[in-house]
Amino acid sequence: MIPAPRLLSVATAVPPFALGQAEVAERARRLFAGSAAPDLDRLMPVFLNAGIERRYSCVPIDWYESSHGWTDRAALYRDHAVRLLEEAGREALARAQLQPEDVDAVVAVSTTGVSTPSLDAVLIGRLGLRHDVKRLPLFGLGCAGGVIGLARAADLARATQGTTVLLLVVELCALSFRKRDVSKSNIVATALFGDGAAAAVVSSGGGAGPKLGAAGEHTWQHSLDVMGWDVTEDGLKAVFSRDIPSLVRRDMRDIATAFLARHALTLADIDRFICHPGGAKVLTALEEAFRLPDGALVEGRAVLRDYGNMSAVTVLFVLDRVLRAGPHGRMMLTALGPGFTAAFQLLDAS
């Protein structure tokens, strides 16, 4: 039997420009006021209530003063995404005590930009990966991409004994800012989103680290408009429903229970919940759904506070923080993304 793949390492990276939330709120108020936003005063408290103190951006804050089209955004996306993934990928390999030539497959996850050739192809040369490395680029998973990407990396490692997979996840959400869009979704996105990257090494060839167990997904019916991007003339426009916390409170416990039951487990068997912090309200809804004490998702709240919502990347920042603190027992990663889809991945560090 092929041994269960193990998570050998996780590493993270952020771009150089740190943006304080108070500074972002002040700049956003001025920019949106220039577009005569009718509900601006009513919506501005979202910046204060987001649970975010600081985020990182691949461009300086003055970049947001100007209008930008697809060509500008796409060039910035490719350059900065590759740079961040190279940094995170090298660190993940170093932490796993592996060399680039040890990697048999690479999974690259991103939804906030378009690059063809895909980012994984560009990084073969940048990282010094073998020319016969298997490539799996994943697009369109949004905030669920970190969990689903980890699950796909585990599938590849599980298929052939001794396989080592490098997972690369990057999102440059802040490049989607649109100063003339005074819709609620865009203002909320401006209050939440930041940029970042993460990498992980998964292997069925031995080594220390949590075992990667079962993974699963659940897609709600008639939910395509809950979360995603609209493609516009000048870039991507964020779409997400105000009903997401309500959906989590109403359905997430039953969905997670059904997933675990398929693997002869219950919620009582989970020692640690590692949840994508999509926002402060979503974290509270997850605590209620899983019947955790208020504020129990400490690491998720800390990552949201320090980095904002980096879409697919964020849950891997939470996982990295948990692992560095010394994990124990069975953990369940969860994230919610376009579809509307809940994603799950079990890890066992016992």
Catalytic residues: 143
Q: Cα–Cα distance between 271 and 328 in angstroms, integer?
A: 8
Nearest to 299 by CA among 281, 273, 278: 273
For residues 100 and 127, the answer to whether their CB atoms sit within 8 Å is yes
User: What are 173's two structure tokens?
Assistant: 């959400």
Q: Cα–Cα distance between 126 and 232 in angstroms, integer?
A: 32
Tell me phi and psi for residue 262, to 5 degrees: -65, -15
Handedness of CA 221, 226, 228, 231 (dihedral sign): positive
DSSP symbol at 107: E
Alpha helices in 96-183 (DSSP H): 119-127, 145-159
Q: Report how far apart, in Å, the C-alpha atoms of 111 and of each of 145, 171, 266, 267, 315 are.
A: 8, 7, 32, 31, 15
DSSP symbol at 133: -
Handedness of CA 263, 264, 266, 269 (dihedral sign): negative
For residues 232 and 29, the answer to whether their CB atoms sit within 8 Å is no
For residues 327 and 272, the answer to whether their CB atoms sit within 8 Å is yes
For residues 52 and 191, the answer to whether their CB atoms sit within 8 Å is yes
Q: Cα–Cα distance between 38 and 326 in angstroms, integer?
A: 49
The 10 Å Cβ neighbour count of residue 54 is 16
Q: Which residues of 148-160 are buried (b: 16+ CB within 10 A; e: fewer)?
A: bbbbbbbbbbbee
User: What are 45's two structure tokens?
Assistant: 């408290």
